[in-house]
């Protein structure tokens, strides 16, 4: 199974992704680990990434996804994938991928981000995340879940939908 858990920063992509991967007995990949040092520095300074900043990151993720699929290695990837164009770059010429969209309100995300420790993403970037977000649609092989439910319920809901 090949799954990309997407949403704005603070939506729970890593937590849900790790739990989902564990339940499905497949690998978890943290999309943030593939960012360049420059991108991490920009985000740490509260500077939103541009499409140009994200391009090498998306290309690296696409290559990683492609390699894993070619070797039949299932995965859950936590990746913001905010714009439709980014999602298309991630899955370029690849099939059988599922997107799981963790949907939450700006207020809920702000609350989560304010409580978050030891993460490079600046709280000031929440607005830019929502500004960039192009909510996915059913044509994108999509499962949408509300972040207002506990993680274990979200994971069960996702597995049932898969």
Instruction: Domain ranges for the chain, please list them.
Output: 2-161
- Residue 60 has a pLDDT of 95
Tokens of 21: 């991967």
**CA-CA distance, 134 to 8, in Å (whole number)?**
10
Task: Return the number of other C-beta atoms located less than 10 Å from residue 108's C-beta.
Answer: 15
**Helix, coil or strand: residue 75:** strand
**CA-CA distance, 3 to 21, in Å (whole number)?**
9
Q: Is the pLDDT of residue 116 over 70?
A: no
- Residue 112 has a pLDDT of 66
**CA-CA distance, 156 to 162, in Å (whole number)?**
10
pLDDT digits (tens, 9 = 90+) for 33-73: 999 999 988 888 888 889 999 999 999 999 999 999 999 99
Task: Return the number of other C-beta atoms located less than 10 Å from residue 97's C-beta.
Answer: 18
**Helix, coil or strand: residue 118:** coil
CA 131 to chain centre: 16
**CA-CA distance, 43 to 58, in Å (whole number)?**
16
Which class in CATH covers the domain with range 2-161? alpha beta
Query: What are 99's strand-pairing partners?
Result: 4, 142
For the entire predicted model, the pTM comes to 0.88
The sheet carrying 75-78 orders its strands as 27-30, 75-78, 2-6, 97-103, 142-146
pLDDT digits (tens, 9 = 90+) for 86-101: 999 998 878 789 999 9
pLDDT digits (tens, 9 = 90+) for 120-142: 555 567 788 888 899 998 788 78
pLDDT digits (tens, 9 = 90+) for 2-15: 999 999 988 999 99
């Amino acid at each position: 199974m090949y799954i990309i858990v997407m949403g704005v920063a603070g939506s729970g992509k890593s937590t849900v992704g790790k739990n989902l991967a564990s339940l499905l007995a497949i690998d978890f990949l943290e999309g943030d680990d593939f960012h360049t040092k420059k991108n991490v520095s920009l985000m740490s300074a509260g500077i939103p990434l541009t499409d140009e900043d994200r391009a090498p990151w998306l290309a690296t993720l696409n290559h990683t996804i492609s390699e894993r699929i070619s070797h039949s290695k299932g995965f859950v990837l936590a990746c913001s994938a905010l714009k439709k164009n980014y999602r298309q770059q991630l899955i370029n010429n690849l099939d059988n991928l599922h997107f799981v969209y963790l949907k939450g309100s700006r207020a809920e995300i702000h609350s989560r981000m304010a409580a978050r420790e030891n993460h490079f993403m600046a709280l000031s970037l929440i607005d830019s995340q929502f500004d960039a977000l192009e909510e996915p649609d059913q044509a994108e092989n999509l499962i949408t879940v509300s972040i207002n439910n506990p993680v274990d319920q979200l994971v069960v809901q996702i597995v049932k939908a898969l």
